[in-house]
Structure 1
Amino acid sequence: MTSTPKFLLVDDLEENLLALEALLKREGLELHCARSGEEALELILENEYALALLDVQMPGMDGFELAEFMRANTRSQHIPIIFLTAGRGDATRRFNGYEAGAVDFIQKPIEPTILRSKSSIFLDLFVQRQQIVVQRDELVALTAALQAADQQKNRFLGVLAHELRNPLAVLSSGVALLELPMGDLDTDAVRKSMRQNVRHMSRLIDDLLDINRIEHGKISLKKERVDLGEILPHALEIAQPAIDAGGHELAVSLPDEQITLDADPARVIQIVGNIVGNAARYTPNGGRIEVTVSRNAPHAILTVADNGVGIAPEQQSIIFEMFGQSDNVLGISGGGLGIGLALVKQLVELHSGEVRLVKSVLDEGSVFEVRLPLAS
């Protein structure tokens, strides 16, 4: 963030300071005045200056001594200094001035055009330096973001390979078994396993395609009036393989009253199925998943609670981002691609709804809440 450029004007005579202010005053520039070297040092401790204009001949600490103090201080050593002098000055005096840190001398009485011209150069340099600092900081932030994105991409590709390799291995083994002489082979069990893994792969690919469609604005909702209680079983059916695989207990609580939405039923099924399936995959075997539907006008509220692995506090802010899979679920069988909750968030928002993590505690579980507008 850039700050307003400031000039420091130092002269022991009030009339000289007023004259300098009148000559240098311009929009976007602050002028700070000091009547002594000591007063100037106090201002330097509190401000950053683009230029210091110092009177050479002052009682007490003169301009040369003030310049030496400024050069000895890391905060002020880079401030350009122009000395203002009433005397003609010999070569030795000028040498001492440059040695003290001066970039230039201006003779009194001051020529306004020369003062404005020289001070403008240092003002422009200061502004450019600030812009360079801002651009540098932006580049640092961009580099960090690109590095983080690259790490996410690499992790995603690794998870994708894992998620696709496992069902492919099952399909390959199933085909090999079916090619053997029948004998006592339970072909129904083999086919069932193959169908489950085909569905798993199809779901992964569908999620990837949906994310791509949403990001490119190519997905549209086919809204109609739907009863949430009627489509909920279809949504839970999507998550049933993950629930069965983990041997989880599923508890569903619905209100007595009908809850009607103006929504795309296929997408609502997808939202619920993804959240419940997510809970099933991230819960150790033999866990419990609770799905509760309630009404709080003007919203229908769906709550999904589990007693799974939970999410670390520092990772809870990224779980709805693309590939924002929590580190503590990596390695869990069927952990997914880390895009399920990102897809849920985008689908919910397309319905003008909201999804949030209500709470999550490591090794105790998580609670998610989806709010969707009720039909008017």
Structure 2
Amino acid sequence: MTDTPKFLLVDDLEENLLALEALLAREGLELHRASGGDEALELILEHEYALALLDVQMPGMDGFELAEIMRANTRSQHIPIIFLTAGSEDAARKFHGYEAGAVDFMQKPIEPTILRSKSSVFLDLFVQRQQIVAQRDKLVALTAALKAADLQKNRFLGVLAHELRNPLAVLSSGVALLELPMDDLDTDDVKKSMRQNVRHMTRLIDDLLDINRIEHGKISLKKENLDLGEVLPHALEIAQPAIDAGDHELVVNLPDEQITLNADPARVVQIVGNIVGNAARYTPNGGRIEVTILNDADHVILTVADNGVGIPSEQQSIIFEMFGQSDNVRGISGGGLGIGLALVKQLVELHSGEIRLVKSVLGEGSVFEVRLPQSR
């Protein structure tokens, strides 16, 4: 948003200032008055002016001296100056005025039509300059956003390649082992590892597809009245491989009363499974993950707390953005693509709910809270 254009009127006579105000007043223009050079300089320090109209013959600092000071100051040197004088109209005087930095020299008594016409030119130039500056700033911001998006895209492709290459390597090795003619080969562990990596790849691809569906408005919820206590075990089952891999302690706190939601059961499973799975992946081995369900008036509150790596304070604002992984979790094996929480946020909001990061401390862990409306 641009500032309202302003003119500076400088004259030691009050009646002259009133006359200039009457001539130049219009909607969308501010007129600031100064009765001398010192007062004018104070105003210049506070405001940006589209035009300055200076009386030449003022006691103390005259108009020429004021113009010279303005031209010597980087803040005011660009302000167009029109001199107003009741003195003689000789060439030397005009030369002095232009040398001091004037763009025009008008003789009193002022012709109203000419003054309005000339001032309108400088007003239009000022407005155009403001528009150009605003457009420039938008282009700078857009360029920065495009660079950030390009960097984010490249980082995402690198993470995607890493996340897909590792399970593919396991699958390739598993297939090679199963093809070996070894009667004593224990294939159970090989098959288990292969199944785990297939699940991991499937989860990544499903998340990508869901994000695409949501962004194109192609995802629909199949809501029904459900008991959260019955759905929760299925959600925790999704995160169980990551919990087992990290040898974590999982603590679940449920209220005694039944908790009923009007929600899509598959999406609730996905929401809880993603958050708990994230906590498991970003918590060092032997950690603790606590899932708590509470009733709060019209909402159900799900809290997931861990004692994992935590999120730096300066990066906590981006974790719900697409590919918004924190720097200190990048490179963790199986850390995902950085879309899990972005997907969870969109699924929660589709249910008219809210997700937030309650707190996170580096080296101490994080606490996430999801609020979903109860069914009526």
TM-score calculated relative to the size of structure 1: 0.97
How far apart are the structure 1 equivalents of 2:218 and 2:29?
A: 50
Structure 2 equivalent of residue 223 of structure 1? 223
Structure 2 equivalent of residue 12 of structure 1? 12
How far apart are the structure 1 equivalents of 2:7 and 2:116?
A: 12
Structure 2 equivalent of residue 34 of structure 1? 34
SS in 2 for 1:59: coil
Q: Which amino acid aligns with 2:276?
A: V
Q: Which amino acid aligns with 2:212?
A: N
Which 4+ runs in 1 deviate beyond 6 A? none
The C-alpha deviation readout for 1:62-101, integer Å capped at 9, x for no partner, is 2111111211222211110011122342222211111100
Q: Is 1:319–2:282 an aligned residue pair? A: no
Q: Is 1:125–2:125 an aligned residue pair? A: yes
Is there any run of 5+ residues in structure 1 with no aligned partner, and where? Answer: none
The C-alpha deviation readout for 1:310-333, integer Å capped at 9, x for no partner, is 111111111111111111111211
The 5 A counterparts of 1:61-140 are: 61-140=61-140
Structure 1 equivalent of residue 55 of structure 2? 55
Q: Is 1:365–2:373 an aligned residue pair? A: no
How far apart are the structure 1 equivalents of 2:39 and 2:333?
A: 70
How far apart are the structure 1 equivalents of 2:100 and 2:289?
A: 76
Structure 1 equivalent of residue 188 of structure 2? 188
Aligned-residue CA RMSD (Å): 1.2
How far apart are the structure 1 equivalents of 2:61 and 2:174?
A: 93
How far apart are the structure 1 equivalents of 2:58 and 2:354?
A: 68
Structure 1 equivalent of residue 294 of structure 2? 294
The 5 A counterparts of 1:137-216 are: 137-216=137-216
Q: Is the contact made by 2:306 and 2:366 (CA closer than 8 Å) also made in structure 1?
A: yes
How far apart are the structure 2 equivalents of 1:59 and 1:304?
A: 75
Structure 2 equivalent of residue 336 of structure 1? 336
Q: Is the contact made by 2:293 and 2:303 (CA closer than 8 Å) also made in structure 1?
A: yes
TM-superposed CA distance for 1:277, in Å, is 0.5
Q: Is the contact made by 2:171 and 2:194 (CA closer than 8 Å) also made in structure 1?
A: yes
Q: Is the contact made by 2:56 and 2:63 (CA closer than 8 Å) also made in structure 1?
A: yes
How far apart are the structure 1 equivalents of 2:97 and 2:80?
A: 13
The C-alpha deviation readout for 1:15-65, integer Å capped at 9, x for no partner, is 222211111110111111222222222222222211111112223322111
Greater CA drift, 322-331 or 129-138: 129-138
The C-alpha deviation readout for 1:174-197, integer Å capped at 9, x for no partner, is 111111103211122212211111
How far apart are the structure 1 equivalents of 2:55 and 2:282?
A: 73
Q: Is 1:247–2:247 an aligned residue pair? A: yes
Q: Is 1:308–2:308 an aligned residue pair? A: yes
Greater CA drift, 261-270 or 302-311: 302-311
The C-alpha deviation readout for 1:77-126, integer Å capped at 9, x for no partner, is 11100111223422222111111000011122211111011000101111
Q: Which amino acid aligns with 1:249?
A: E
Q: Which amino acid aligns with 1:312?
A: P
Q: Which amino acid aligns with 2:292?
A: T
The C-alpha deviation readout for 1:218-253, integer Å capped at 9, x for no partner, is 100000010000011111111111111111111112
The total of aligned residue pairs comes to: 376
Q: Is 1:352–2:357 an aligned residue pair? A: no
Q: Which amino acid aligns with 1:259?
A: I
How far apart are the structure 2 equivalents of 1:201 and 1:311?
A: 25
Q: Which amino acid aligns with 1:322?
A: M
How far apart are the structure 1 equivalents of 2:146 and 2:281?
A: 30
How far apart are the structure 2 equivalents of 1:7 and 1:197?
A: 71
Q: Which amino acid aligns with 1:5?
A: P
TM-superposed CA distance for 1:147, in Å, is 1.8
How far apart are the structure 2 equivalents of 1:240 and 1:36?
A: 79
Q: Which amino acid aligns with 2:355?
A: V
